[in-house]
Structure 1
Amino acid sequence: MHLRPLLALLALALAACAPLTPQPPPPEKRYTAAELRALQPADFAWPATSEAGERALRRQVLADIHSTLVLPPGPARDAALPALFDRVAHHNAEIEAARPLLLAVLPTLGQREPEFQRALLTAAHTLYAAEAAPLLWPLLPQLTASKPFAIAAATLLQAEPGAAARLADIVPRQFPAWADDARLTALMQRLAPAAADAPPLSELLAAPLRPGLPVIFSLQRPGRQAMGLALVRGADGRFVRDAAGQLFTSPQLALARSGLPGTLTNGNTPQGLFTIVGAGTATNPNIGPTPYLHSKLPVEATVAEFEHAPVADGAAWSEAAYDSFLPARWRHWPPIKEAWLAGRAGRDELLVHGTTVNPAYYAGSAYFPGTPQQGCLISSERWDAASGRLVASQHLSLAQAYATASVREDLAGYLLVVEVPGPGPVTAAEALALVTATGR
């Protein structure tokens, strides 16, 4: 079994999925719809996915982890901790050995910079929630920035089922203006009683959004611990089918390695509407060379980028502008606004892409063979262990289905992520039933 590490030391990543040691990125190529349709898996190779490349990088990563673990307490070790825990979580390596370092630093976070707090609290949520929880309650009053506070709260909710009521009391006292902060708004929604059932999904799947533009619908399970499924609706409003008339579906993972909510840095893909503004090659080695679809959140994208049409000078984002894309009953269902809140919170670069990560890292997980990263929507790819050449790509199949369904060479369109309750991976039969209900 080959271990295909996440090549986090080799190139400069896109902001959403940044590696640990940046280097100058190669020039990015952008693709038209025609260029995307013409690609074949054999057009792409990534040498570090070969057995030899994996082995070399694995040795390097483990050496870097061990060099940090043996550092004496002090500023040098503290400075190395964010990168250490990123590697540990990423490679499922030395989790037990790193635990004491995390638990020792947590009580000191009140005196640290917010970005250091964010990184270490994210590690606590990802790796050590149960052990960290008792240390987080006394830390909460010292977390004056909303992002670290929200990460700590998410960790407590994960570790202690009864934490919601206590947190719901703390938030408005500690942050009287919480309603003006997108992260705290999302947290308070999570702390409130469960929202009513979603409106009929058929209404959302049939919604025009903006007529004449294609849409990728990504159907995901709540909690994201199972593979979701992507569908493509063409510019003509009909869902894409193959030559035999079967509905096109493609497995897709919307789980971040941290498992944090979608409004937080490196959290899960938020639920809701994105715009798609083209395709390009990533500078992130975890994504690899297969062209990604360039999806953007509200606020990250301008109003014009969402409309894919000219807008009035000075057109500004508002919740009403976001709502205008949704069918009437869905405008009043808070969970579909997570993308709007995530954009307001500053999340960006959440792309639709493939992966150079070997799924062997996640063997035995509920979402296997998915490979979670840092909030993007990820489809599986298979690379040849001898040559590092791409053998098969579910992502390329999805991107080409979208390109074929487009009427514009700039690939303008939409991505809509929506959760579908149920056990296990989202199935093609479920998707077909939902599409059949739309009459499309």
Structure 2
Amino acid sequence: MTRRPLLPSLGLALLLSACAPLSQVTPVTPPAPAPEKRYNAAELQALQPGDFSWPATSTDGERALREAALADIRARLAMPAGPARDGALPRLFDLVAQYNAEIDAARPLLLEALPTLADRDPEFQRAVLTAAHTLYPSEAAPLLWPLLPQLTASKPFAIAAYTVLQADASATPRLQAVMEQRFPSWADDARLIALMARLRDPALPQPPLADLLAAPLRPGFAVIYSLQRPGRQAMGLALVRGADGRFVREGAGQLLAVPQLALARTGLPGTLTNGNTPQGVFTIVGAGTATNPNIGPTPYLQSKLPIEASPAEFEHVESKPAADWSAALYDSFLPPSWQGYSPFKEAWLAGRAGRDELLIHGTTINPAYYAGSAYFPGTPQQGCLIANEDWDAASGRLLASRHLRLAQAYAAAGTRADLAGYLVVVEVPGPGPVTPAEALALVTAAGR
């Protein structure tokens, strides 16, 4: 199996990108993607890794993208102070974080921008504060205290608060007081509900995982269970439970367990734009190809959050009368022991907060750039669930795909040609990557 070599002088990150529109995340023109295609279960199962190639995964393709992106970063850094440079800052910080390049050179621009954010629109605030959280939390935190009472939108406020917490965990009482004063109706806002839960830190005991692994959700549908560590700084594992309620085993009888990462580059919570994959229940509504060059040509599985999917779409029923989403409807997918466990409501809150397009997919990002990281060989993006793929360094042809293996196992385990089913993302306490032996013990305890 051919591995792509590590390109020099790039640091840890190359081609990091979001599960977001191509125009928002790609610093240079990528190879023209094939027209988007949808796959049914039989078509998905018939695919082979050799069916796919992506020239930008070759050594020459990576180098060309990197050099163009670094030139873009340096051009933005060289702009004179003024409105034009201000307008270039969100893109600049995105590229700096994306390529882990010129971080020191960009720091003064970020720190200079923070005191002026109260007069900027919420989207500009979001972009700059996300950069502060991702790149400079310790330096930014002292500048955020006077800014917090001036922020009028909940999303920038929450990002600023999480940045302060990242720099100083003891700041919770002061942050709670500021939030309650600034947003007296915080309990009506999904992002602030999640933030308040973090500030109050009730440290609720997790219900038995066996209950969740055995939960019917809706009988007769296949389910992907993604077991992840709190903080997401280690590789998790994806398991498949078939429509018959049994977890999928491979040829020799061992449990199918595919390494998968649910970490976003920002490290923000799942209720915020470009944050980690939220904990909870999603619906799966099919498979297709992406236009995002960092996802590449291997078909993704399309998962949707509550609210993003209507109740009928979430439940995979066509004849059910129209209904509104409610916390009670979300709870109906959970076993009784999990219905009162607030951390598992993150997917419900994320949907209420407007998050969407959190896919289950492969990656064209070279994992060699993350050697030495706690989550290696994962390649973080911005909220999706990602399993690794190996691309040939010379030709850019796909050699092996853990994601395709997972998607095909899910397709084979279901009964629906349209690939309808569910995704459950759950955090499993413990150190280091989630191991196959650990997953097997959990499944055995669930009697599945």
With the length of structure 2 as denominator, give the TM-score of the two structures.
0.95
Partner residue in 1 for 2:223: 215
1:126 aligns with 2:130: no
1:239 equivalent in structure 2: 247
Give the direction of change, closer, same or farther, for the CA distance of 1:46–1:259 in structure 2 (3 Å limit).
same
- The answer to whether residue 47 in structure 2 is matched with residue 36 in structure 1 is no
The residue type equivalent to 1:101 in the other structure is L
1:19 has 2:59 as partner: no
List per-residue Cα deviations over 1:402-424 (Å, max 9, x = no partner): 01101111000000000000000
> 1:377 maps to which residue?
385
Counterpart residue number, 2:147:
139
Tell me, yes or no, if structure 1 residue 329 matches structure 2 residue 333: no
Q: 1:16·1:266 contact (CA, 8 Å) conserved in 2?
A: no
The answer to whether the 8 A contact 1:272-1:340 is kept is yes
- Residue number in structure 1 paired with 2:260: 252
Query: Amino acid of the residue matched to residue 126 of structure 1?
Result: T
Match of 1:296 among 289, 304, 316: 304
Query: Structure 1 residue 359: deviation in Å?
Result: 1.4
Q: Give the counterpart letter for 2:274 in structure 1.
A: N
2:181 aligns to what SS in structure 1? helix
Shift of 1:5: 3.6
Give the residue type in structure 1 aligned to 2:36: E
1:161 shift after superposition: 1.4
Offset from partner CA, 1:43-98 (integer Å, 9 cap, x none): 00000111111111111000000000111111111111111111111111111111
Aligned residue for 1:309, secondary structure, equals coil
The CA distance in 1 between the partners of 2:34 and 2:46, in whole Å, is 23
Q: Confirm or deny that 1:110 pairs with 2:115.
A: no
Measure the CA separation in 1 of the matches of 2:117 and 2:24. Answer: 23
Q: What amino acid is the match of 1:6?
A: L
> Are the equivalent residues in 2 in contact too, given 1:5–1:57 (CA < 8 A)?
no
1:390 corresponds to: 398
1:393-408 mapped onto 2 (5 Å cutoff): 393-408=401-416
Measured against aligned partners, the alpha-carbon deviations of 1:112-133 in whole angstroms (never above 9, x if no partner) come to 0100000000000000000000
Match of 2:156 among 138, 142, 148: 148
Residue 15 (structure 2) pairs with residue 6 (structure 1):
yes
Find the counterpart in structure 1 of residue 75 from structure 2. Answer: 67
Cα distance, 1:25 vs. partner?
6.6
Q: Does 1:202 align with 2:206?
A: no
Structure-1 separation of matches of 2:115 and 2:399: 48
Secondary structure class of the residue paired with 1:138: coil
Paired with 1:408 and 1:161, the residues of 2 have a C-alpha distance of 47
Q: 1:283 aligns with which of 283, 288, 291?
A: 291
**2:10 corresponds to:** none
Paired residue type of 1:172? E
Offset, 1:360:
2.4
> Residue 237 of structure 2 corresponds to which residue in structure 1?
229
**Residue matched to 2:172:** 164
Secondary structure (helix, strand or coil) at the match of 1:104 reads helix
Q: Rate the CA distance shift 1:25–1:382 in 2: closer, same or farther, 3 A.
A: closer
Secondary structure in structure 2 of the residue aligned to 1:332: coil
1:162-198 deviation line (CA, Å, top 9, x unaligned): 1111111111111011000000000001111333211
Distance 1:114 1:108, change over 3 A: same
Closer, same or farther: CA 343–15 of 1 in aligned 2, 3 Å = farther
Structure-2 residue corresponding to 1:50: 58
- 2:28–2:68: 8 Å Cα contact kept in structure 1? no
Q: Equivalents in 2 of 1:312, 1:409: separation in Å?
A: 20
Cα distance in 2 for partners of 1:15, 1:301 equals 19
Q: Is the 8 A contact 1:280 1:294 kept in 2?
A: yes
Alignment pair present for 1:174 and 2:182: yes
TM-score by length of 1: 0.97
Q: Say if 1:253 and 1:371, in contact at 8 Å, map to a contact too.
A: yes
> Aligned pair count?
437
Q: Secondary structure at the match of 1:162?
A: helix
> In the alignment, what sits opposite 2:317?
309
- Work out whether 1:274 is the aligned partner of 2:278: no
Shift of 1:361: 2.4
RMSD after superposition: 1.7
* CA separation of 1:383 and 1:84: change in aligned 2, threshold 3 A: same
2:363 is matched with 355
| Residues in 2 aligned to 1:16 and 1:410: alpha-carbon distance in whole angstroms | 26
Structure 1: 5+ residue runs without aligned partners? none
* Cα distance between partner residues in 2 of 1:366 and 1:276: 29
Q: Residue by residue, what CA displacement relative to the aligned partner does 1:363-404 show, whole Å, maximum 9, x if unpaired? A: 211001100001000011111110001111110110011011
Alpha carbons of structure 1 residues 341 and 16: separation in structure 2 relative to 1, 3 Å: farther
The 3-state SS of whatever aligns with 1:421 is coil
CA distance in 2, matches of 1:21, 1:383: 21
Aligned-residue offset at 1:22: 9.4
Does the 8 Å contact 1:303/1:311 carry over to 2? no
Q: CA deviation at 1:159?
A: 0.4
Moved more, 213-222 or 12-21: 12-21
- Give deviations 1:322-362, integer Å, cap 9, x for gaps: 00000011000000000000000000000000001111222
Identify which range, 25-34 or 263-272, moves more after superposition: 25-34
Provide the secondary structure at the position in 2 that maps to 1:368: coil
Distance in 2, Cα, partners of 1:159 & 1:308? 43
* C-alpha contact (below 8 Å) 1:17/1:373 kept by paired residues: no
Tell whether the 8 Å contact from 2:19 to 2:381 is kept in structure 1 after alignment: no
In structure 1, give the amino acid aligned to 2:239. Answer: L
Contact in 2 for aligned 1:14/1:282 (Cα 8 Å): no
Kindly provide the CA deviation profile for residues 213-240 of structure 1, in whole angstroms up to 9, marking residues without a partner as x.
Answer: 0000000000000000000000000000
